[in-house]
Structure 1
């Protein structure tokens, strides 16, 4: 089943719950829905993880974990998917979302340079934030929805394929004359 595919890559829930860094969460990690591997939990986790990975914020992993708690979807998958926007991919992702937001808001192109300082944040970023946020939310909703639908379809396809295999095995294993 599709469940087996995800189970290979995800940590065991008991290992996850026993990590010292997560002790502050206490009983919250004992909700079985946070570690379930079913079609709805995995699809919801794909939506949450892909949506959050396009948000231009710091702390994407805690945000994805919080949303996984709120929507009771698979926590490890939600948190892992935010790593699509990593230090190597962040610049192209956020530039593309800025351009999309600029196009949607019909705002003029602004010349800017990137500098990691408080002064830059107070001057330049305040001019750029609206198109960036609009583009990021729309892109996050689009790719989150696409991930959700794709996982629903993949899961369904995988289940139907396994049913067909079992059906073929039963037909091949049946004694002659009983087909």
Structure 2
């Protein structure tokens, strides 16, 4: 802020709205829920549109959006092939498809193709994943949901416990001061 006499002027327009959005949903449950939501979405084959999905679901489910946004970066072009291959493998245990080795090569080629894309071509990235054959997509989606739910549960429990511990410790320090 710049002070001019008795008046303040915001350098960043809508600064109070941005502060409100960041501070919104600050409880340990909301923050842990945000971490879990972002983790779940990160493990789904929605690379390219994860940001929009997390913002929408975080608002809808009353979870901390910044925490959710941080965790979607688990999957990126560099980690996509191994993560999606593992998810595919889990899904292929329930639904048959091509061999895991073939699928890994497909994902590695897809990641190389995405590296050449502009970072803002999110829809094109999502379309590239969705262009995979049904024999790959169905086990991938099934495996992604299973792995995503398990990872989200682990992240929720761990982050909630850590946040509660930090909150209690902070409260005890205030009492002792």
Measure, in 2, the Cα distance between the counterparts of 1:161 and 1:56.
Answer: 39
Classify the secondary structure of the residue corresponding to 2:133.
helix
Measure, in 2, the Cα distance between the counterparts of 1:30 and 1:41.
Answer: 17
Q: How many residues align?
A: 145
Q: Counterpart of 1:67?
A: 57
| Counterpart check, 1:38 vs 2:46 | no
Seen in structure 2, the aligned counterparts of structure 1 residues 108 and 73 have a Cα distance that, compared at 3 Å, is closer
Q: Counterpart of 2:71?
A: 81
Instruction: Say which structure is richer in helix.
Output: 1
Question: How large is the RMSD of aligned CA atoms in angstroms?
Answer: 3.3
Seen in structure 2, the aligned counterparts of structure 1 residues 140 and 17 have a Cα distance that, compared at 3 Å, is farther
**Given the two structures, how large is their TM-score scaled by the length of structure 2?**
0.67
Structure 1 runs (4+) deviating above 6 angstroms are none
**Given the two structures, how large is their TM-score scaled by the length of structure 1?**
0.66
CA contact (8 A) 1:33 1:73 kept: no
Deviation digits for residues 82-137 of structure 1 (CA, Å, limit 9, x no counterpart): 1110111111100111111112x16365345425599x976x52211121111100
Task: Report the Cα offset of residue 30 of structure 1.
Answer: 9.1
Seen in structure 2, the aligned counterparts of structure 1 residues 55 and 107 have a Cα distance that, compared at 3 Å, is same
Q: Counterpart of 1:134?
A: 142
Classify the secondary structure of the residue corresponding to 1:42.
helix
Measure, in 2, the Cα distance between the counterparts of 1:38 and 1:31.
Answer: 14
Measure, in 2, the Cα distance between the counterparts of 1:52 and 1:102.
Answer: 20
Seen in structure 2, the aligned counterparts of structure 1 residues 70 and 34 have a Cα distance that, compared at 3 Å, is farther
When Rg is computed on C-alpha atoms for both structures, the one with the higher figure is 1
